[in-house]
Structure 1
Amino acid sequence: MAVSEVKICNLALRKLGARLIESLSDSSQEAVTCNLFYEQVRDSVLREHPWNFAAARGRLAKLIDTPAFGYAFQYQRPVDCLHLRQLNSPDDEFVVEGDKILTNRENASAVYTMKVVNPVLFDPSFVMALSARLAAEMADDITGSTSKAQEMWTLYLNAMQSARLSDSSEGREDEILNDPWLEARGIHNSDSFILRG
C-alpha cells in the first residue's frame, strides 16, 4: 500500500491508541487534529535533518537591489526552500533574511532542503520519524495525557536518531547541536545524533 497522508496520520494515531481515520476530511476529533498538525509537523521534520530525498540544488536569482551593508549581493530564496544548506562551496558565508539570501558570492547556486509534499517520495525512515513527531504533537489533544506526550517525544527522538544514521550512511556526517526547543521540554539530544551536511 502506497504511503499517504492518511496512512502517516494513522501510524501516529495508532501509537496513541486512538481511533484511525479514513480521510482527513472526516469530522472526527482525530481527523480534525491531524489536519491541524500535519503540514506544520511535516515541514518541521523536513528541516530537522538534511534528508537525501528532499535535497535540491540550483542557481539563485540575483536581485537588482543590494544589501544596505554587510554583503555584496542578495538573491531570491527559492519558493520551495525549507532550509538552505550551503551555497556553491561549504565555505561561502551567507545569511537568510526573510525570503532573501545575502552573501558575497557572485553567481550563487545553492543546495537546500525542498518542501516535499507528496508522501510517496518520503524515505521510509522519515515516515516513521514523522508519524512519531505527529503523535507527540497530538498527544495532549487526543489523549489528554502529558505522560503519553513525553513517551511520544522519546519515541520521536529515537526514530530520528535511527533515521539520521540510515540517511547519513549515504553521505558525510556532521555533529548536530542540541535543540533549545526540545531542551525546553526537558528532552535532550545526545552528541551521538548526526546529520548529513
Structure 2
Amino acid sequence: MAVSEVKICNLALRKLGARLIESLSDSSQEAVTCKLFYEQVRDAVLREHPWNFAAARTRLALLAEVPAFGYAHQYQLPVDCLHLRQLNSADDEFVVEGDRVLTDRDGASALYTRKITNPVLFDPSFVMAFSARLSAEMADDITGSSSKAREMWTLYLNAMQSARLADSAEGREDEILNDPWLEARGLYGTDSPVWRG
C-alpha cells in the first residue's frame, strides 16, 4: 500500500493506542488532531536533517535592493525552501533573513531542503521518524497522558537517529559526521566505533 497522509497519521495513532482514521476530514478527535499537526510536524522534521530525498539545487534570483550593511548582495529564496543548506560552496558565508538570503557571493546558487508535500516521495526512514514525531506532538491531546508524551518523544529521538544514519549512507557522510546533534549523543567522534579518521 502506497504511503499517504492517512497512513502516516495512522502509524502515529497506533503508537498511541488510539483509534485509526479513514480520512483527515473525519469529525473524530483523532482526525481533527492529526489534521491540526500534520503539516507543521512534517515541515519541522524535514528541516531537522539534510534529507537526500528533499534536496534541491537552483540558481537564486538576485534582488535589485542591496543590503544596508554587512553583505554585498541579496537573493530571493525559492518559495519551496524550508532550509538553506549552503550556497555555491560550503565556504560561502550567508545569512537568511525572512525569504531572502544575504551574501557576498556573486551569481549565487543554493543547495536547500525543499518542502515535499507528496508522501509517496518520502524516504521510508523519514516516514518512521515523522510518524513518531507526530505521535509525540499529539500524545497529550489524544491520550491526556504526559508520560505517554515523554515515551513518544524518546521513540521519536530514536527513530530520528536511525533515519539520520540510514540517510547518511547515501552520499552525505561527511556532513553527517560533523553533525553536532550526533556528536552530542556520542555517535561520532574519535572515540566512536564508527569514526573513520
Question: Aligned partners of 1:178 and 1:46: how far apart in 2?
Answer: 15
Q: Which residue of 2 aligns with 1:21?
A: 21
Provide the secondary structure at the position in 2 that maps to 1:92.
Answer: coil
The two structures have a TM-score, normalised by structure 2, of: 0.91
RMSD: 1.5
Structure 2 gaps, min length 5: 190-197
Deviation digits for residues 86-135 of structure 1 (CA, Å, limit 9, x no counterpart): 00000000000001100000000000000000000000000000000000
User: Which residue identity is paired with 1:22?
Assistant: E
Partner SS state of residue 84, structure 1: strand
Matched, 1:177 2:180: yes
Quote the sequence identity (%): 79
Query: Shift in Å at residue 74 of structure 1?
Result: 0.3
User: What residue number does 2:42 align with?
Assistant: 42
Unaligned regions of 5+ residues in structure 1, if any? 180-188
The amino acid that maps onto 1:114 is R
Q: TM-score, normalized by length of structure 1? A: 0.91
Match of 1:182 in 2: none
Residue in 1 that maps onto 2:140: 140
> What are the residue-to-residue correspondences of 1:68-83 with 2, within 5 Å?
68-83=68-83
Deviation, 1:175, is 3.0
Q: Cα distance, 1:178 vs. partner? A: 4.8
SS at 1:66 equivalent = coil
Secondary structure of residue in 1 paired with 2:187: coil
- Aligned partner of 1:121 in structure 2 is 121
Distance in 1, Cα, partners of 2:149 & 2:186:
23
